[in-house]
Structure 1
Amino acid sequence: MTADPVLARRLARALASLRGLAVGDALGSQFFLPANHPARERRELPPGVWRWTDDTEMACSVLAVLVEHGRVDQDALARSFAGHHDPDRGYGAGVSRMLRSVRDGVDWRELASALFGGQGSWGNGAAMRIAPLGAWYADDPEQATHQAEISAYTTHQHREAVAGAMAVAAAAALTADPERRLGPEELLDAVVELVPRSAVQAGLRRARGMLDYGDAATVAAVLGCGRRTSAHDTVPFALWAAARNPGDYPEAVWTTARAGGDVDTTCAIAGGVVAAAEAGAPPAEWLERTEPLPEWAPGSAG
């Protein structure tokens, strides 16, 4: 643990968010199994140890780079993504190919910019891993969005993917700051102001207007819930669920999970944002059921 009190506070906030992200990711991943669908509907915890996915593995790299460099170093981040890439963690085929190539010495800039005919990926991968970075920069939300933008480019260079990462980082930063204590409307308004004009921003405006809706399925039908795995189909709904349930991790995650879609990713985003606040930690039982973080990750007990 660092002796610098500012860095120590940043790390503590980021680790809290990382744990929330990992639990949401691991629990959400259980609901891809048809046998667990009834448990999701009844809001019952599935049995066994919950295994996290690429969302958590990549989030660990983000935090490891912040701890080592104090900011996002793109080359170090790309190396960490590639060096720790476990293809059995649910990575998309395109990202897996890219990370294998990075490991073989190909420049990440060339690979990321070439995806999807040179447009870059607009997937939700840059957003799913970024909440701990937002918590790290709770004292500076503008810097959180800037660093999130930088981090996104290592794998996702489409405007929507970048905006999605910026939105999640902003939400986590604003949530982690105990001095702000923003209500749901104020939180989403502040995030909208920190995100560039995009489909993600438009979705966040719609999410803000639906905060009084109690049925997650109805909201997901409007905003999307990650079924297309795009940033703009994922981030607005996940942040809607997080904003509606400040300080209540179980309610935020169950609300998110019951809508279906890309459940591990939406729950990772919502969980990472809510857990960025001290009052939003996951229940102890949920933490115990979640697979430990990898041994190389900051804060790992391994």
Structure 2
Amino acid sequence: MPSDSLTRATASLRGLAVGDALGSQFFVPGHLPHLAARTLPPAPWQWTDDTEMACSVHRVLLDHGGVDQDALAAAFAAHHDFDRGYGPATGRMLRQIRQEEGDWRVLAAELFDGRGSWGNGAAMRVAPLGAWFAGDVTLAVRQAELSALVTHTHPEAVAGAVAVAVAAAVASARGEVSPGAFLDEVLAHTPASLVRDGGQEARRLLTVRDPVVAARALGNGRQVSAQDTVPFTLWAAACHLDDFERAFWATASAGGDVDTTCAIVGGILGARVGPPRHWLESCEPLPGWAGASGA
């Protein structure tokens, strides 16, 4: 029988994949009327790099019980599919790792003139890790940091990954929890950063019910940075902790980097409530190598 950690991580991964795949449909102009009407576009829905990288996180957790950074870097590089929509910096780095043109530690640290990437890539893939370590939030924080540093060394990117991992851990492990208490616990573990500042603003905006208004204050991922992405996803998850469908539509309706914001929210809620079965059936299946079929 699968362990509780694996069961939670797999459920989170499936929620992430559905959020990513369905969210990605709304980059297609012909599908925008579906978004406005909150109706589902034609299946199948294909997921993007968000899910592909999350599958590597899931596989490494299954094989090692935690983040082995060398194994994670190797998995990212081995499964890198250019057509999944990777950002140019990450795509180039993974190609270099795969072709043995450099060590991931050096390559990640050298990005953006040595500042490292503060993109949302570390946050978009980390929810299954948070679900895996739901029983120990302090450990989830450290493991999220390790997972982020393989590709994203900037403190904002690390803070974004930590915030999402903790959110997934809390959502997975807690029964009844208020939106405010949920965000309070996430913020208590998120390092001082613009991400945390945005999370505090999300906490203040919990009385707002219009996601467009919330995104105007928090960002919607349009800048593809952790600080422009994670705070809004925390707000969306907190406001809809027990309703995957409403969480998805609220997140998608704000626009921006829709596949990534929806992947993050789907991953946070995946082990708590999960997507409807017909949404799962409309989503492209997860790859066999991810090790997600048996839980």
1:131–1:168 Cα contact (<8 Å) kept = yes
CA apart distance, 1:181 = 2.9
- 1:151 equivalent to 2:147? Answer yes
Q: Tell me which residue corresponds to 1:213.
A: 208
Query: How do residues 128-277 of structure 1 correspond to structure 2 at under 5 angstroms?
Result: 128-178=124-174, 181-277=176-272
2:251–2:261 Cα contact (<8 Å) kept = yes
What is the CA–CA distance in structure 2 between the aligned matches of 1:144 and 1:298, rounded to whole Å?
20
Secondary structure of residue in 1 paired with 2:289 = coil
Listed as ranges, the gaps of 5+ residues in structure 1 are: 3-7
What is the CA–CA distance in structure 1 between the aligned matches of 2:274 and 2:238, rounded to whole Å?
15
Secondary structure of residue in 1 paired with 2:14 = helix
Secondary structure of residue in 2 paired with 1:116 = helix
What is the CA–CA distance in structure 1 between the aligned matches of 2:107 and 2:57, rounded to whole Å?
19
Query: How do residues 46-85 of structure 1 correspond to structure 2 at under 5 angstroms?
Result: 46-85=41-80
Q: Tell me which residue corresponds to 1:29.
A: 24
Secondary structure of residue in 2 paired with 1:227 = coil
What is the CA–CA distance in structure 2 between the aligned matches of 1:181 and 1:80, rounded to whole Å?
36
CA apart distance, 1:53 = 0.3
Structure 1: 4+ residue segments shifted above 3 A:
none
What is the CA–CA distance in structure 2 between the aligned matches of 1:197 and 1:87, rounded to whole Å?
34
1:149–1:166 Cα contact (<8 Å) kept = yes
Q: Tell me which residue corresponds to 1:286.
A: 279
Q: CA RMSD for the aligned pairs?
A: 0.9
- 1:124 equivalent to 2:117? Answer no
- 1:299 equivalent to 2:295? Answer no
Deviations 1:44-82 (A, max 9, x none): 101120000000000000010011111100000000000
Amino acid corresponding to residue 40 of structure 1 in structure 2: L
What is the CA–CA distance in structure 2 between the aligned matches of 1:191 and 1:266, rounded to whole Å?
17
2:43–2:283 Cα contact (<8 Å) kept = no
CA apart distance, 1:229 = 0.4
Q: How many residues align?
A: 293
Deviations 1:84-138 (A, max 9, x none): 0000000011111000000111200110000000000000000000000000011
Amino acid corresponding to residue 289 of structure 1 in structure 2: S
1:247–1:275 Cα contact (<8 Å) kept = no
TM normalised by structure 2 equals 0.98
Deviations 1:137-178 (A, max 9, x none): 110011111100010000000010000000000000011114
TM normalised by structure 1 equals 0.96
CA apart distance, 1:275 = 1.4
What is the CA–CA distance in structure 1 between the aligned matches of 2:220 and 2:232, rounded to whole Å?
6
What is the CA–CA distance in structure 2 between the aligned matches of 1:181 and 1:204, rounded to whole Å?
21
Amino acid corresponding to residue 129 of structure 2 in structure 1: L
Amino acid corresponding to residue 13 of structure 1 in structure 2: R
What is the CA–CA distance in structure 1 between the aligned matches of 2:17 and 2:293, rounded to whole Å?
12
1:175–1:181 Cα contact (<8 Å) kept = no
What is the CA–CA distance in structure 2 between the aligned matches of 1:37 and 1:130, rounded to whole Å?
28
Aligned-pair identity in percent equals 59
